[in-house]
């Protein structure tokens, strides 16, 4: 599967950024990425690793996004999400090592973005984080822990700033 992701990445690199969405969905499904109906993945988006990736129906993936999935992990993007350019999803991390090499043994944690979310440009979502349904993550934020549903979150690390409950 990982080798076909490399082929899919290569072919998609040469396609127009915001065209041929059906062909991109086909290539990604052949590469083991679960892609829902009417998903639009823009160009220069890359899928690394051999973990599971699921992108829900009618979701928009902006140009230059990166999906870093490690073995045994899942990156799950819900239905009706909007992911701005250059957003990164990263499942891999490390245990703390000794002073001679601080990054110790590597391992992976799932990433979950629930339905209806909007992730601003250059957001990073790290493993073990969940973005609750209907939430908006401001540009440049780093999501390292759970964000409640219907919440505006911003900052490094991302923190809730406003609730959209009832909206």
What structural domains does the chain harbor?
A: 45-162 (2.160.10.10)
- Catalytic member of 1, 18, 72, 94: 94
| pTM (predicted TM-score) | 0.95
Q: What is the largest CA-CA distance in the chain?
A: 52
> Active-site residue 68, yes or no?
no
Task: Give the chain's mean pLDDT.
Answer: 96
Beta strands 52-55 and 74-77 are parallel
Judged against a pLDDT cut of 80, whether residue 127 lies above it is answered with: yes
Residue 140 near residue 123 (C-beta atoms within 8 A): yes
pLDDT in tens, 65-84: 999 999 999 999 999 999 99
Tell me if residue 19 falls in helix, strand or coil.
Answer: coil
Asked if residues 147 and 113 have their Cβ atoms less than 8 Å apart, the reply is no
Of 50, 76, 82, nearest to 128 by C-alpha is 76
pLDDT given at position 2: 67
pLDDT at 1: 54
Checking if the pLDDT of 93 tops 80, the result is: yes
| Strand pairing report for 33-35 and 52-55 | parallel
- At 10-58, the pLDDT tens digits run 999 999 999 999 999 999 999 999 999 999 999 999 999 999 999 999 9
């Amino acid at each position: 599967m990982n080798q076909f992701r490399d082929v899919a990445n290569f072919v998609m690199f040469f396609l127009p950024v915001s065209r041929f969405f059906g062909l991109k969905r086909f290539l990604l499904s052949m590469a083991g990425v679960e892609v829902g109906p009417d998903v639009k993945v823009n160009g220069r988006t890359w899928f690394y690793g051999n973990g599971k990736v699921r992108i829900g129906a009618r979701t928009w993936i902006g140009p230059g996004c990166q999906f870093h999935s490690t073995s045994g992990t899942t990156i799950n993007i819900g239905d009706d999400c909007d992911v701005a350019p250059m957003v990164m999803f990263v499942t891999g991390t490390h245990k703390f090592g000794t002073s001679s090499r601080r990054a110790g043994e590597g391992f992976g944690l799932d990433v979950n973005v629930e339905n209806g979310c909007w992730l601003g440009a250059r957001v990073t979502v790290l493993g073990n984080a969940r973005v609750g349904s209907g939430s908006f993550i401001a540009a440049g934020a780093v999501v390292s822990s759970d964000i409640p549903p219907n919440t505006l979150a911003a900052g490094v690390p991302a923190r809730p700033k406003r609730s959209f409950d009832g909206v």
